[in-house]
């Protein structure tokens, strides 16, 4: 409804400004239908005449009275347009090129080019450096020679028009010398369908007016910044999908969050078509098309609400697109960045499995024993689940947690005593999402309910595992 009113208001204002058929007379006494001195009557003429007949009146009050138009809607509409356009300036179109040879192509190498999208999370424009988030599947093809694309090209908004700023000739990318931003893979993980791209010393970026979704100068601070919405999106929230829809360049499309959390199965492997990954996503009515993959899903505050990764292409399905929730994406990106730095700034390649997700291992299985929804104080529907331990699989949980324990809250503390996160466990994904921020040596303080009594238990996180790209 809010977006509808903004649209309606914009139309009403445009009609009012060009209005010539009103019954007011122009300030010079000439019939307003004929204009004054051969010129069209403006909204200012009408306003001035209104003031002369009704006394001193603010322009906003005049619009409300005469046009039934709320001045607040004008401001909101302008602000919303600014948010959308800033989001466009932080988006990139992505072209990835893959080579294929061997038994399928004896004696030659064939190439394919795919399109996708991304969002600039951090940027040092003076140096031409940046980090960009996208989908893992945008830069992956397990039937190609390299598995990961070693030719990744980014194009900024306004510089991403096929046939003008770049050409595709026999699946080779040409004509983009003044527009192409070369990127490399800093980290990628198929298990969460996220990839982190690194841009270094790009002259295109240096001379651009591109913006990052974070204004932090420090990379680590930027990737942990509140530009990513830490508050889970609610059903009905207006969102904008910004991406390279159908490979036609950056564009924006609006919709709402229609479901805040669900799981979908997606196949990423062409080599093994029966292999699927399960992703936690939120559903949106924002139009999603081929090429939108990896692009940002922004809320009306300009914060990243999610990263688009899939759509339902069923013939009987409409307006069902999916995005990875931003509060989960932030944790994944930080883990990738940490792994990248710990690996000596080593760019991910086919033989380098250190580019995945490094997370501490709790070794438990849980289940939602009860679930219900209620309206909170803001009138928003909140789902709450009762999460119980269903199985302990080894250290550090065995001997500390028991089957049937209800998980109430969790506090993650680093080895230096810093509290990383402090959450209430109200959904099945609450704890697993938080553990993406955990590292070996951290301490997890869990508040549990056992036999109708609450207690706090401490678990030292001593082991970890990687989630790899392949």
Domain ranges within the chain, ordered by starting residue: 2-69, 90-334, 358-464
* Residue 169: pLDDT over 70: yes
Domain 90-334 has CATH 2.40.10.120: yes
Which of the four pLDDT bands, split at 50, 70 and 90, describes residue 349? low
Which of 243, 237, 257, 255 has the alpha carbon at shortest distance from 301? 237
Q: What is the mean pLDDT of residues 424-436?
A: 92
Confidence of residue 21 (pLDDT cuts 50, 70, 90): very low
Strand partners, 256: 238
Question: Phi and psi at residue 12, in whole multiples of 5°?
Answer: -60, -40
Long-range contacts of 258-265 (CB under 8 A, 24+ apart): 258/283, 258/284, 258/285, 258/319, 258/320, 259/235, 259/283, 260/232, 260/233, 260/234, 260/235, 260/383, 261/232, 261/325, 261/383, 261/427, 261/429, 264/310, 264/322
- Work out the number of other CB atoms within 10 angstroms of the CB of residue 228: 27
CA distance 218 to 341: 14
Give pLDDT, residue 202: 98
pTM of the model: 0.81
pLDDT at 444 over 90: yes
Which of 2.130.10.10, 3.40.50.720, 2.30.42.10, 1.10.620.20 would CATH assign to domain 358-464? 2.30.42.10
For residues 327-338, average pLDDT: 91
b/e map 42-53, b = 16+ CB within 10 Å: ebebbbebbeee
The 10s digit of each residue's pLDDT in 140-163 is 988 888 889 999 999 999 999 888
pLDDT tier, 34 (very low <50, low <70, confident <90, very high otherwise): very low
The residue among 170 and 210 whose pLDDT is bigger is: 210
Q: What pLDDT, on a 0 to 100 scale, did the predictor assign at position 237?
A: 92
Nearest to 186 by CA among 351, 333, 360: 333
Q: What is the pLDDT, as a whole number, of residue 367?
A: 94
Helix 2-17 and helix 71-89, axial crossing angle in degrees, nearest 10:
110
């Amino acid at each position: 409804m809010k977006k509808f009113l903004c649209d309606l208001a914009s139309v009403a204002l445009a009609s009012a400004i060009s209005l010539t058929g009103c019954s007011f007379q122009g300030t010079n006494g000439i019939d307003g239908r004929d204009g004054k001195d051969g010129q069209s009557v403006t909204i200012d003429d009408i306003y001035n005449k209104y003031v002369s007949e009704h006394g001193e009146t603010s322009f906003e009050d005049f619009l409300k009275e005469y046009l039934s138009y709320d001045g607040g809607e004008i401001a909101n509409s302008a602000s919303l347009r600014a948010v959308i356009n800033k989001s466009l300036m932080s988006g990139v179109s992505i072209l990835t090129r893959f080579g294929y040879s061997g038994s399928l192509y004896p004696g030659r190498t064939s190439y394919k080019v795919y399109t996708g999208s991304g969002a600039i999370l951090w940027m040092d424009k003076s140096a031409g450096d940046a980090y960009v988030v996208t989908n893992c599947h945008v830069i992956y093809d397990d039937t190609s020679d390299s598995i990961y694309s070693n030719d990744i090209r980014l194009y900024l908004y306004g510089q991403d028009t096929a046939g003008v700023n770049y050409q595709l000739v026999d699946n080779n990318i040409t004509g983009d010398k003044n527009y192409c931003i070369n990127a490399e893979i800093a980290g990628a993980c198929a298990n969460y369908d996220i990839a982190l791209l690194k841009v270094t010393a790009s002259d295109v970026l240096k001379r651009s007016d591109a913006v990052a979704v974070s204004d932090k100068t420090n990379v680590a601070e930027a990737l942990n910044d509140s530009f990513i919405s830490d508050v889970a999106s609610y059903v009905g929230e207006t969102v904008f999908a910004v991406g390279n829809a159908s490979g036609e360049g950056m564009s924006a499309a609006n919709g709402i969050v229609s479901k805040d959390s669900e799981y979908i199965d997606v196949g990423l492997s062409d080599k093994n078509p029966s292999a699927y990954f399960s992703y936690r996503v939120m559903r949106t009515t924002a139009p999603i098309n081929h090429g939108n993959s990896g692009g940002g899903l922004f809320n009306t505050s300009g914060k990243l609400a999610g990263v688009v990764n899939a759509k339902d292409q069923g013939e009987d399905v409409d307006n069902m697109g999916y995005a990875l929730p931003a509060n989960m994406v932030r944790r994944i990106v930080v883990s990738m960045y940490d792994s990248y730095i710990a690996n000596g700034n080593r760019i991910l390649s086919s033989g380098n499995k250190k580019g995945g997700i490094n997370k501490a291992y709790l070794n438990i299985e849980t289940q939602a024993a009860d679930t219900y929804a209620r309206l909170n104080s803001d009138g928003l529907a909140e789902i709450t689940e009762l999460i119980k331990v269903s199985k302990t699989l080894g250290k550090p949980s065995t001997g500390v947690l028991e089957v049937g324990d209800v998980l109430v809250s969790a506090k993650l503390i680093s080895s230096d005593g810093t509290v990383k996160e402090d959450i209430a466990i109200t959904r099945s994904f609450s704890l697993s999402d938080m553990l993406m921020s955990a590292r070996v040596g951290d301490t997890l303080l869990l508040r549990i309910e056992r036999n109708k009594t609450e207690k706090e238990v401490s678990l030292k996180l001593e082991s970890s595992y990687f989630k790899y790209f392949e």
